Each structure stands twice: as C-alpha cells, then as structure tokens.
Structure 1
C-alpha cells in the first residue's frame, strides 16, 4: 500500500518501513500509550462481558499496539479502531488512525468510507453512554434533543479534527514533494541546457576556425600566387628588359603590401576580441536563386564590409598585370546586393583566377557576371594553357581546398556551385 512517507522510502534510514529512526521511536511510543489506554479500558469491558480481567487487558494491549502500523497500513489501524469501538475503548487509536489515513496517499473514496464507519461507531457509542449517564442520573437531561446533540458532538469531535488535519498535512506534503520534483526537473533541464550551450559553443568555435582558415586562404593564396607569377616573370626578364623587371618588382611589392594589409585587418579583429559578424561565420557561396533572400538578411547584420562586386575589375586587372589574358563581361542591369552576397561573388572569382594561375598558367580566361531577376551568377572559364607544363614550372603549391571553400560559400547562401572540366 502507498502510505505517508512512501515517496521517500528510497532514502529511508530507519528500520523496516520507517524513513527515519525518530519516526520509528515516535510510532512505538504512540503505540505504547494506546496499548496502555486500551488495557485500562479493557478491564470494564471484560467485567461487563463476564470475562477474566486478564483477557480484557491482553485484548486491549493487542488492539492498542496496532497503532505502530499506522504509517505502513493505516487502513488496518482504522479498521481495528472501528472494531473495538463497541467495547468503548481505543479513542487514541481512532484519532491517530484517522489522521494517518487522511494524510496518506489512499484514494479519497476509501478515506471517506472508513471515516464514515468511524463516525457511525463513535456516534453509537456516544448515544449509548449518554443514555446510560442519563439513566444513572449522572447528567441532567434538559430535553429530548440532549442525547442526540451530545452524541453527534462527541462523534464529530473524535473523527472530524484528525481527519481534517490529516488531509491538510497530506496535501501539504504532496505539494512539497511536487515542488521538490519540479526543482529537480529544472536542475536537470538547466544541466542539459548548459551541455547544449557548451556543444553549440564548441560548434561555433569549429565554424569560426573554418571561416578564418577560408578567409586566410582566399587572401593569401590569390596575392601570393600573383606574387609568385610576377617573381617568375621578373626572373625571366631581369637581364633582357630591366624596365619591365622594375615594373614587375613594383607589382610584387604592391601585392605584398595589399596581402599584409588584409591579413593585418583580419588579425586585428581577432586580437581585439570583437565578435565576428555571423554572416562571415556561415559558409558563403556563389549564388543561386536564394541569394536575394540572403542579401536582405545580410544587410540587417552589422559588421565590416569585405570586397564587393565593384572591385572585380580591379581584381581582373591584377591578373592581367601578371600576364594572364582575361576577358570580363557583365550582363543585366547592375545593382547592389547584400554585403555577404557581394563578398561571396568576389571571393569565388578570386579563387577561380588563383586556380588558373596555379593549374593553367598563361591560359586565356573568361569572367562572366550576370545580374538576373532573383539572383546573381558568375562563371569563370579558361582555355587550355598554351604550354601544358607552364603551371608546374611556376611551382605554386596547392592545398586542394579552394573548390571546397567555394562550394561551402555557395551552399551557405542556398546557391548552386558547379566546377569541372569543359568539353
């Protein structure tokens, strides 16, 4: 049965069904007092029933001692108290038993039924005692209503207060247990939230490392590739054409300074601890049908503005200065996009030109930019290099991450990225 204190049984430290030692000692003490009361009341019961006094005393002790079971089996205690009520004994057993029953987790219909039985038993005994007292002349009867009034008052006084007090204590105990469970649940939820926050932070750190690596690759690879190309040209013409050698050397210096400036700006942001805008932490891309929607989000975000489409001509001019033949065409009505979209378009063209320098040195290249209704599209295509081994002779290293980075940028904006050889 589920009784008072049952919820805490897992943490019990007392003997048997008691959760604490002092609870066991308290119940044993109550049982002892109840046994003594019933033993005393068993003497007149045995005398009236014509039984030996010892039988009445033993019967009273056994009946009163059942109070020790009030936490484990409160129904049994109440039933015993109802059974010995006609013998006019067990008032304490009735009071404490009803309190324990009302404070337990028993269904309300069972509590009500047993409480009704106790009330009826107490009422009958009170009526009998009142009539006996009136018959003996111990009390003065003021009217016909006196005996019912005394009987009902006595029965209510024995049963109602312990019943109401037990119901209040039981409700309060259940409320405290509910609050404790809710507190434990909240603590578990907070722990889970903290773990998820740590996971998100770790994911954000990984994304930030990837973003920084991608930006460093875009900045360094293009500039350094052009510097290597110019250095190779400088080495080839140093003796034959000093004027062209001086021009190439100046270009190498300019590109080196530009690369250092961009790196310094990037590292400055990291050093200052400023939060990098979320738009740069997302893998960016070259631009499909969802680019326009991404642009509207990007415009609402704060942060530094990177390269844009207006700088594509300058980017192409740097490759031309390195000796590459580049044709650039623009289709559609020129307009401004979100910063993240324009930066993506710029980086994709930049990385594509870098790949031409690395893998198809000297090849004629076509850069096409198209402004369409809901998107912006780029295409970078090169012809076969005039000398197949020209790229390898330059000695440019390749990490194999350029196409991966471009695809991530495009996919991050919901765009479409295609790469590969043509017919």
Structure 2
C-alpha cells in the first residue's frame, strides 16, 4: 500500500535533521562503529607517526564520529575520509560517505569531483603501502602487482558505494515524484468529486423546478377551469338544470384529464427512480454507454421526457376556455408545420398558462390568441382586454402563486427564445414569446 506525500510529510517526526527516529538510530550506530574502527586504526598510525597512542586513538574517535552528520553535511564527511586516507583510517567512513554523497540532491560534477579525489587518494596510498611491503620483503610478487593492487583497491572502495548511492538517489527521487503525482491526482479527484456533487445538486434543483413547473401547468389550468365551471354551476343550478348538468359534465371531464396527466407525470418519476436503481448497480462503462445512448435518442427525438401536448391540441384548449364562458379569438399566420416535441410543448404551455391567468385575473375578458409560423421561429401572443367586471376573479376564489409567468419565461429561455409580458395601454395584459425553430 502506497502513501501520499501528505502522509509521508506527517511521518517525518525525527530529531534535528533526521526525518525519522530510525534514521537517527542508524546514523548513530554507524558513527559508533566508525569511531571504534578509526580509534583502533589510530594505534598503528600513532606508532608510525611517533606520537602518543592516546592522541592517535582520540584522533581516530573524532574522525570516525563525523559519520553522524552524513545526512546533513555529506561533503564534509567525504572530505574527512579523504583527509585521513594516508593514515589508513576510515574504511567505513569513506564507503558510507561516498554512498551518502551520491544519493543526495547535489550536482553531478560535485559528486564526480569528490569521488575522483577519493579514488585517486586511495590509489596513491595503496600504491605506496604495497610498494613499501614489497621493499621490506613482505610480498614477493612481481612489479606488476603494485599498480594492479592500487587500481583494484581504489575502484573497489569507490565505485560500488557511488553507483549504489546514485541508484538509491534516483529511486528516491522517483518515489517523491510518484508521491507528488499521487497528491496531485488526489486533489484533482477531490475537486472532481466536489464538482460532481455540485452538478448533481444543480441537476436535482433543475429537476425539482421542472417538475414543479409541469405540475403547475397541468394542475393550474384544469383546476382553474373546474373552479370557473363550479361557480357557473352554482349560479345556474336552479334556473337552468340542463346547463348545470352540462357544466357538471365538463367539470368531471376536466378532473379526469387532470388526473390522467398527473398519473403520467408520476409514472415518469417512478420510471426515473427505477432507472436510478438500475444504474446504481451498473459498471461505470455501461453507465456511460447508456447515458450516451439516451442523449442520442434525446437529440433525435427532440428532447428528453415523455411526449407532451402539441400545437394541434390548441383548438381543444381554446374550446375548453370558451366552454367556461371566455370569448377567445384564435388567429394563425404562416404555413402550419410540425416542430420538435419540446418546442411544441413549450408553445402549448405558454398559451395554456396565459389563458389560465386570464381566468384567474380577468374572468370574462375577451382574449386574442395569435400564432405565427415563421421561417426559423414560432411566435405566440395571448392578449386579453380589460375584464368587464373588475374583481370577478377574486370573487371566483382563484388564488395565484405568482409562478405562472416565471415558469413560462424559464421554458422559453431554456430553448433560446424571448419572453415578454406586461399590461397593455387599454388595461388588459399581454404575453408574447418567440421560440427558435431550427
């Protein structure tokens, strides 16, 4: 299991310049062994140099203990090892110092220069010592052995620690790079998760708004007509029983239509929940393929969602308003043609909501519905004249939530259209919308 850079940084709890306690213990142990080694080698050095043995031991102990700071000052450790090479001291100090130097973040030219100095010093000292041994008769080999021994010893004490240090340093840098990349990927994944959550929340809000808008369009118009017919039914129940029966039948038909549309919407919502449960158990690749296929179908079919009302049902819509006592004048300009499902549904809902507002706020007012089929767009306008009896809407008991115009604007703007509404100079109200049809 790998750790990220943040976890690695939190794990650096060692003393002073050590990242971890185990590193401090390791360096302390190496320094102790090196000090003992140099102290022991200081005895023959003191005898050869003609100085007190105690001085040689103390000198060796001090020189060997320099290994304790190999991580902090590796160059100093290598220089000390090179300096005590003529005394034939610091074998462990030189090997570990060169390894630490090669594994550090130092320029290659510095590493090469110090490694070359160590190689040259070891070769010279070995050459001199072997030559002295051969002169004393301790070695009886040929003259070829002197340079061979010097070169072999120098390479054996210099090349392996330098190469190992270079390898460990490169591996350490690679691990640090991988940790940084892991940190970067973790941050990116966190940002993506946050953005995905934001998009999901935005999608949920949009879906709630869409459902609220659909519920408003479906329920408000039907229920408004039902309220109007119910009021008329109360007014004529005793005077004209036959008209009361017709009004009651209309109220029943509108109630059934409203229930049918509500069942369709609830069916769509339940279908969406079933799809969500199926998607939750699907692999990511299958979800992406399904989403792409759904998007393609939506583009071909003209938009997502179930098939809604279309412009061919405007006559029936206006007939229902006329049956409720509203005088509605419909005029159509241009060549009648079919549009994408979303465009026709939006145009229908705009006219429907505008008529609903007339029922609510200007009951009995004459209304003009104009529909224009143009080359690259479709325009609609619903304008009502001042109501003959101000306050009739409130008398009928029709509340207003103030969301009708907002919903119409949202529908039209979502398709890239333009929506304008406001009172007229004559005291009526006008709703206009233009929707691109390309």
TM-score clears 0.5: yes
Query: Which residues of 2 match residues 10-409 of structure 1 at below 5 A?
Result: 11-143=11-143, 145-272=144-271, 273-274=273-274, 297=299, 299=301, 301-409=303-411
Residue-pair matches, total: 398
Note closer, same or farther for the CA distance 1:233–1:317 as it changes in structure 2 (3 Å cut): same
Measured in 1, the distance between the counterparts of 2:183 and 2:326 equals: 69
Measured in 2, the distance between the counterparts of 1:40 and 1:84 equals: 14
Note closer, same or farther for the CA distance 1:235–1:10 as it changes in structure 2 (3 Å cut): closer
Higher relative contact order (CA 8 A, sep 6+): 1
Note closer, same or farther for the CA distance 1:32–1:218 as it changes in structure 2 (3 Å cut): same
Deviation string 1:249-300 (CA, Å, 9 cap, x unpaired) is 1111100110111112112222342569xxxxxxxxxxxxxxxxxx994735
User: What secondary structure is seen at the aligned counterpart in 1 of 2:79?
Assistant: helix
Deviation string 1:11-67 (CA, Å, 9 cap, x unpaired) is 334433333333323222221221122122222222222221211111111101111
User: What secondary structure is seen at the aligned counterpart in 1 of 2:207?
Assistant: helix
Deviation string 1:379-418 (CA, Å, 9 cap, x unpaired) is 1111112222332322211111111111111111111000
Which residue pairs with 1:4 in the alignment? none
Note closer, same or farther for the CA distance 1:343–1:178 as it changes in structure 2 (3 Å cut): same
User: What secondary structure is seen at the aligned counterpart in 1 of 2:419?
Assistant: coil
Q: CA deviation at 1:9?
A: 6.8
Measured in 2, the distance between the counterparts of 1:312 and 1:8 equals: 70
User: What stretches of structure 2 of length at least 5 have no aligned partner?
Assistant: 1-6, 277-296, 426-438
Note closer, same or farther for the CA distance 1:331–1:409 as it changes in structure 2 (3 Å cut): same
How well do the aligned residues superpose, as a CA RMSD in angstroms? Answer: 2.1
8 Å CA contact 1:74–1:101 kept in 2: the answer is: yes
The alignment's TM-score, normalised by the length of structure 1, stands at 0.88
8 Å CA contact 2:307–2:341 kept in 1: the answer is: yes
Note closer, same or farther for the CA distance 1:233–1:10 as it changes in structure 2 (3 Å cut): closer
User: What secondary structure is seen at the aligned counterpart in 1 of 2:421?
Assistant: coil
